[in-house]
Chain A
Amino acid sequence: MAKQGRIIRIGPTDNTSDQRTPRQRLRLIPEGARESFVPVAPARFAAGPHEWDMTRTAPDRPRAEGVPIEVTGTVRTQSGAPVRNALLEVWSANHYGRYRHVEDHSNLQLDENHLGVGRVFTDEDGAYRFWAISPGAYLARPDIGRWRPKHIHMSLSGGAPRLITQMYFPDEPNNVSDPMAILMGDAFVRNIANPRDIGGADVDEAYDFDIVVGGRNATYFE
């Protein structure tokens, strides 16, 4: 059977997904045009040296409310090669589930010690590390009582590898009803961080979250 492009599925109970998901089957890229579909992000990023510590707004400021956590991991391609010197942009809600974003009109509690944005780089082994406040879950659909589970957003840019994803937490009651988790199906486990010992870090919890860039998106089907 001839190869076909995929059809993107719509996230259940997700109004925006219904409004914005293409309905047509994706078109196949002709062989002669493949190079043009692989953008290469230039390695000229800017980030503050303190942005790895998202548990405070600046080194001389107190810790934000909630549970400070450390997140570490490696970024690799599917063949196992480390994605080196790549930019990892991280954003997450505060302890109360509020983003310090001018478009978050939820009226949930802000925290004067929490920005929830930070940028870090992978090293020569593809490894990264940051501190954050364990984010609060929040009620995304009050009309049907659906919550967004605790999650941390990550955007990875490094040469050709490109990924925007979310890291979830194990055993959270709202994981099973999350629209995107439902689309991921059994592959959702790949997006759940693994708890580990905190070692000597000045945090209360620590997680490993290894990222592999490439391959099929499990939220598509053929």
Chain B
Amino acid sequence: MTADLPNALPATNEDTCGPYFPIFFEDPALEDLTFVHPGLIGHAKGAPIILRGRVLDRHGDLANGAILEFWQANATGIYRSPANDGHPDIDPWFHGFGRLRSASGAYEFRTIMPGAPQGRAPNVTITIFSDGISRIVTQMFFEGQSTNATDPVLQAVGEDAPRLLARHDGRTSKGEEVYLFDIVMAGDGETPFFDDLES
């Protein structure tokens, strides 16, 4: 990796975002990925879903002021990454990157059900920033998917795999499938987090 190269520049340290990440920077277009903008015609392909849950600290209390960033493939399992430039299955109305700040620690994120990337089960990568920590990263899966059984990330976490599974909680009157996923930052029932820089 880059950090091992002898001429690599020393990286600036990550630092906590603290409690006052500006609400001023919120962008509604990053909090609902089912459409590109409320004033433009352009809907993402795929089944709309709602991810709902809580970010909890080691005492089970809500982690207020948490920033969640979401990253996922489109409905056909293709990521909007430079490696896939020009791919015929890119959805022009879906970039797959979301961000929200939760004042309370409870969150709700609207998106579409990701397709299964090659060799993977459908998943959503979630990056968490908050006061007291620098970035931590996990990956969420959907209960009941047949590809879960062979997914390398779920296999790698072994008996903790159920902690990465979102629970299906029915369908809204608008037809959105609801999934529940709590993130436990520390302590009993701690969510598995991944080393995003060294592996």
Question: Residues of A with Cβ closer than 8 Å to B?
Answer: 3, 5-6, 8, 11, 14-24, 26-42, 44, 46, 76-80, 89, 91, 99, 101-104, 115, 117, 119, 153, 155, 159-160, 162-166, 180, 184, 187-188, 190-191, 211-219
The 9 closest A-B pairs by CB, nearest first: A16-B132, A215-B11, A39-B71, A5-B195, A26-B195, A30-B152, A17-B132, A19-B57, A215-B3
Contacts of B2 in A (CB 8 A): 77-79, 214-215
Q: Is B14 a contact of A89 with CB atoms below 8 Å? A: no
Q: Is B82 a contact of A42 with CB atoms below 8 Å? A: no
Contacts of A40 in B (CB 8 A): 71, 79-82, 95-97
Chain A to chain B contacts (Cβ below 8 Å), 17 pairs? A17-B16, A19-B57, A30-B156, A35-B117, A39-B97, A40-B97, A89-B25, A91-B20, A102-B23, A103-B65, A166-B18, A180-B13, A187-B13, A190-B13, A216-B11, A217-B13, A217-B14
Residue B165 is within 8 A (CB to CB) of chain A in the complex: no
Residue B34 is within 8 A (CB to CB) of chain A in the complex: no
Q: Is B137 a contact of A164 with CB atoms below 8 Å? A: no
Contact residues, B1-40 vs A (CB, 8 A): 2-3, 5, 7-25, 27, 29
Number of interface residues of B (CB under 8 A): 77
Contacts of B25 in A (CB 8 A): 89, 117, 119, 155
From B3, B9, B71, B131, give the contact of A16 (CB < 8 A). B131
Q: Is A164 a contact of B134 with CB atoms below 8 Å? A: yes
How many residue-residue contacts, CB under 8 A, span A and B? 243
Q: Is A33 a contact of B131 with CB atoms below 8 Å? A: no
CA distance A211 to B12 in the complex (A): 6
Residue B47 is within 8 A (CB to CB) of chain A in the complex: no
From A24, A42, A165, A211, give the contact of B95 (CB < 8 A). A42
Contacts of B129 in A (CB 8 A): 164
A139 → chain B, closest Cβ, in Å? 14
Q: Is B132 a contact of A14 with CB atoms below 8 Å? A: yes
CA distance A141 to B111 in the complex (A): 40
Check A20/B83 contact, CB under 8 A, given A37-B194, A216-B3.
no
A50 → chain B, closest Cβ, in Å? 14
Contacts of B24 in A (CB 8 A): 115, 117
Q: Is B195 a contact of A99 with CB atoms below 8 Å? A: no
